[in-house]
Each structure stands twice: as structure tokens, then as C-alpha cells.
Amino acid sequence: PGRPSPGPAISGAGAGPGGGSRPGPLPGSRCPDRQGRGAVNGNCREALAVLEGLGAGRPSLAVLLGSGFGAATSSWPVRLRIPYSAIPGMPPCQVDGHAGELLCVDLSAGAGAWVFSGRVHAYEGQDPGAVVRPVDMAAAAGAGRILLTCAAGAIRPGLAPGDLVLVSDHLNLMAWSPPPGGEPFLDLTQVYDLAGSRILATAAAEAGQTLGHGVLAAVRGPAYETPAEVRMLAALGADLVSMSTVPEAIRARALGVQVAALACIANHAAGQGRGPLDHGRVLKTVGGSLETHGGWLLAGLVRWAALPAD
């Protein structure tokens, strides 16, 4: 993991005052979930008040960007950038490739998106609630849909670095799940939203791109898998492997937020290709791929956000 860099200043049209020290968490200031099932982990009430004061608005949809995915947003209509350090309760990003800022993006008239540029991983040793904090905040703010993204290693033959894969199901091998926030025995029969995935696939096809589909194995990391572990994952039915996304997907499902997940193949998993596995190469591969996919991805998000709420 890389060192955290100083957070950028708040910028954009309508940006409120920023900088300086921020207040710490307030005991008991927790986020209500979308189903009215009570309080869930997270210091969202204070955070939402701060974001409202900064002009962030309320999102129809949220996006959580994984390693290298920030390249996709270079052409997006970002009207406001807020560093995580200005948001109460938002944990800092400590891994290279995670900017640690919230982008407020205009999707269409009356619809906006909160794009969390950077995440906290389970292997970073923070409170488990920190991993799912962006989901908590988005849900509390009213977002009904969220796109999760991540870099991943290819397990299934035929997948190559730079390919984009929609997650259809997952294997949670991280040895933990996020705090439930509501019903503890959560039904995960259909975690990933079929309509959202179809919309993204259609938007990609219209731009001449083909998205794969696959089962994502989530492991804790931060060490990469061994060849023997990769063979085990393949035997279990995994097509690709990552160190994130699944906790956030489970949390969103618990809060009644529709989830889609998009992975970019950063490398062949251990034993499947040549050369060492390296985070710098992951960022280069994912960033290079996503630079060419931002247009259709934004178009897909606009369409998904426009769907009537269930």
C-alpha cells in the first residue's frame, strides 16, 4: 500500500468552504437505511449535513471507483470535488490509485451521481464499517442504485488484461461480511441487478465494446494469490478474483440499494500468465483501459439512473 497523499481542495461550481480540521464522529449519529429498518454503521448524519452545506446535493445513483478506474471520469461533467478529509467519518485512502475524493456529477436534468473516487480495503486494518462507508452514505442520501468497480485478476481462460467484466455472482472468501444493518439472515440469491447490468452491457455494445460476465471471488489480501489458490478458486467456480467489491455489494443489498459491479482485468492470476504481479502494473493496465471507456459508461449510468424506482 502506498502512503496517503494530501487531500485536494474542494473545487467546482457552488463549492462551499473547505479545508481546516473537521469534527470527529458523533456518538450515535448513524445512518438510517433505505428500508426504515433502523440505524446502520456509519457516521452519516453529520457527513450529510456537511455535504449539503458544500452543495453536493442528493444523488440518484452512486459509483465507487476501484484501482485505476479514476481514468474513466476524465470526460465526465464533474461540478464539484470534495476531498474525503472534509467529510466527517470518511476514512482516508491509503493505497495508490485511490484519489480519496467525492465527485458530484451531473447525469441529466434533476439527476446526479456521487462518485467515490477511492475505497478502503479490508486488508488495511480499519474498522469493518469503514469499508462500506461510501455505501452507507450514498444510501442515507437517497441513492437507489450503486455501481461498484474493481481491478481483478483473470482466472477463466479467455479473459485478458484490459477486458471489462460485469459481475454476475460472487464467492465471499474474505472471512467476514459487513455489519448487516437490518435483517441478519440476508438473502443473497440475486445480489447484482440484472436490469442495471443489461443497461451497461447495451451502452458498451453501442460503443463497439463487449463486456464479459463472470463470478468474482473476493479474497482479503493484500498479498496476491498463489498458483495453488488460483486453481482452488477455479475449481470453486470463480472467473476472476479481487480484494474488494463483495463487502460493499452485500451492504448495498442489505440497505435495499440496487447493485451492479464492473471489474477490469488487470492481469492473469498467479500461474495463469507470465511475469510478476505488481500493483503499479495493475494501475497502468486498468487506467489505460478505462481511458477509452468513460463515454459509454457515463451513458449507461444516465440510463440506469432514469429507470423508475422499484
Domain around 44:
38-306
User: DSSP of 36-72, one letter per residue?
Assistant: ---EESS-HHHHHHHHHHHT----SEEEEE-TTGGGG
Q: What percent of the chain has pLDDT over 90?
A: 58
User: CB–CB of 297/203 below 8 Å?
Assistant: yes
CA distance 131 to 146: 15
Supply the mean pLDDT for the chain: 84
What pLDDT, on a 0 to 100 scale, did the predictor assign at position 40?
Answer: 41
- In this predicted model, what pLDDT tens digit does every residue of 156-200 receive, in sequence order? 999 999 999 999 999 999 988 776 666 678 899 999 999 999 999
CATH number at residue 96: 3.40.50.1580
Count of the separate structural domains present in the chain: 1
Tell me the three cell numbers of residue 117: 473516487
User: CB–CB of 163/210 below 8 Å?
Assistant: no
Write the single-letter amino acid at 144.
Answer: G
- 124 lies in some domain: yes
CA distance 144 to 275: 41
Question: 103 forms bridges with which residues in the sheet?
Answer: 81, 115
Between 19 and 194, where is the model more confident? 194
Tell me the three cell numbers of residue 15: 463549492
- 227 lies in some domain: yes
What pLDDT, on a 0 to 100 scale, did the predictor assign at position 214?
Answer: 98
